[in-house]
């Protein structure tokens, strides 16, 4: 019986595979994983390249179109590279009927003034919701957040009726005052203020520091990245605004650059044809400041937004 048990045990125990075979299997699996990883990386880069081309092509087309002649631009078969570089389109954009200098001046005035006043309103409101205690604070803040769910275009008619009653049409006031308050910026800065330890506020109150002094000396310096982000975003919003300025201030003295580019300044009265290359040159000139702002300040925008999204 003992011999039978030993025989069964020997049959149940499988012989160990050779050492060389095990190493070959490991190398085969490792090689397969490497190939799959390389293919995944290639697919990822191909996808990102296609997306990048789709995003950058309109800018490329705008740039080369600004250097073409009108006949080449209107050709049946479009060209991906100008046959003749016509730099005079940029001269036409500045010296023509567009009055690009006046448009730039109007846009800068509206952008700078609205940004400064909006920062004041945003800082005071965010500080009140973050540090001060008063009845109905949470309900009021929730109501403000609820307004973010409503598209801004729905307020256009009511705002237009209001500013018409005040007599603000075709003035700088109508371009600045209606958009001084931004619930999104208040929320962004409030979240950043909440990250500052409340012990600093209590210690300052024990020392007799006023709320405004504490805000100026402590809260604002610690929230500088978020404030820089808000400043840049507000300025870019004023620069890109079109619907409201087109509706309430479409006169020569107060017209903004986005509205002027869509006007009849590039239309030849004799032929009725639009000088699209010169118009594209004006668009390039208007786009350059925004690109420079984004290139040099993008890290501040990302830093301010990321810091405001974390509490604690």
Task: Give the model's confidence band at 308: pLDDT under 50 very low, under 70 low, under 90 confident, else very high.
Answer: low
- To the question of pTM greater than 0.85 for the whole model, the response is no
Whole-angstrom Cα distance, residue 9 to residue 274? Answer: 95
- Based on the fold, state whether residues 37 and 154 are members of the same structural domain: no
Whole-angstrom Cα distance, residue 244 to residue 112? Answer: 17
- Based on the fold, state whether residues 25 and 138 are members of the same structural domain: no
Taking the CA atoms of the chain, what radius of gyration do you get in angstroms? 32
pLDDT digits (tens, 9 = 90+) for 82-133: 888 888 888 888 776 677 888 888 888 999 999 999 999 999 999 999 888 8
Domain-embedded: residue 137:
yes
Outline where DSSP puts E strands in 212-299. none
Tokens representing residue 113 in the block: 């003034």
The answer for residues whose C-beta is within 8 angstroms of residue 309's C-beta and 6 or more apart is 191
Domain-embedded: residue 9:
no
Domain-embedded: residue 4:
no
- Based on the fold, state whether residues 113 and 200 are members of the same structural domain: yes
pLDDT of 46 reads 94
Whole-angstrom Cα distance, residue 38 to residue 227? Answer: 43
- Based on the fold, state whether residues 186 and 227 are members of the same structural domain: yes
pLDDT digits (tens, 9 = 90+) for 259-291: 888 766 777 777 777 788 888 888 888 888 888
Domain-embedded: residue 231:
yes
- Based on the fold, state whether residues 190 and 283 are members of the same structural domain: yes
Domain-embedded: residue 70:
no
- Based on the fold, state whether residues 31 and 164 are members of the same structural domain: no
Whole-angstrom Cα distance, residue 299 to residue 303? Answer: 6
Q: Which residue has the tokens 């030849």?
A: 268
How many folded domains does the chain comprise? 2
Give me the CATH number covering residue 98. Answer: 1.10.3720.10
Domain-embedded: residue 78:
no
Domain-embedded: residue 241:
yes
pLDDT above 90: percentage of residues in the chain: 15
pLDDT digits (tens, 9 = 90+) for 198-226: 888 888 888 888 888 888 888 888 888 88
Domain-embedded: residue 1:
no
pLDDT of 24 reads 65
- Based on the fold, state whether residues 103 and 236 are members of the same structural domain: yes
Closest listed residue to residue 281, CA positions, set 69, 55, 109 = 69
3-state SS record for 193-223: HHCCCHHHHHHHHHCCCCHHHHHHHHHHHHC
Domain that holds residue 142: 88-308
């Amino acid at each position: 019986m003992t011999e039978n048990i030993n025989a069964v045990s020997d049959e149940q125990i499988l012989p160990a595979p050779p050492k060389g075979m095990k190493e070959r299997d490991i190398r085969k699996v490792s090689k397969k994983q490497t190939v799959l990883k390389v293919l995944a990386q290639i697919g990822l880069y191909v996808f990102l390249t296609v997306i990048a081309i789709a995003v950058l092509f309109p800018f490329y087309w705008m740039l080369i179109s600004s250097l073409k002649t009108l006949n080449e631009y209107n050709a049946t078969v479009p060209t991906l590279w100008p046959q003749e570089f016509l730099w005079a389109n940029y001269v036409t954009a500045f010296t023509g009927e567009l009055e690009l200098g006046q448009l730039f001046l109007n846009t800068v005035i509206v952008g700078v003034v609205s940004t400064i006043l909006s920062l004041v309103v945003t800082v005071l409101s965010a500080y009140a919701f973050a540090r001060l205690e008063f009845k109905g604070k949470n309900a009021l803040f929730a109501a403000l957040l609820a307004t973010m769910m409503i598209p801004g275009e729905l307020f256009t008619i009511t705002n237009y009726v209001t500013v018409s009653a005040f007599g603000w049409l075709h003035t700088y006031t109508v371009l600045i005052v209606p958009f001084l308050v931004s619930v999104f910026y208040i929320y962004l800065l409030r979240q950043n203020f909440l990250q500052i330890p409340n012990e600093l506020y209590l210690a300052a109150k024990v020392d007799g520091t006023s709320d405004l002094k504490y805000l100026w000396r402590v809260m604002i310096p610690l929230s500088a990245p978020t404030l820089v982000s808000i400043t840049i975003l507000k300025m870019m919003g004023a620069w890109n605004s079109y619907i409201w300025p087109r509706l309430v201030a479409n006169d020569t003295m107060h017209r903004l650059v986005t509205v002027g580019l869509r006007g009849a300044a590039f239309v030849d009265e004799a032929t009725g044809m639009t000088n699209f290359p010169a118009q594209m040159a004006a668009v390039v000139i208007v786009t350059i400041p925004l690109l420079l702002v984004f290139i040099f300040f993008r890290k501040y925008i990302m830093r301010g937004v990321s810091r405001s999204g974390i509490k604690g």
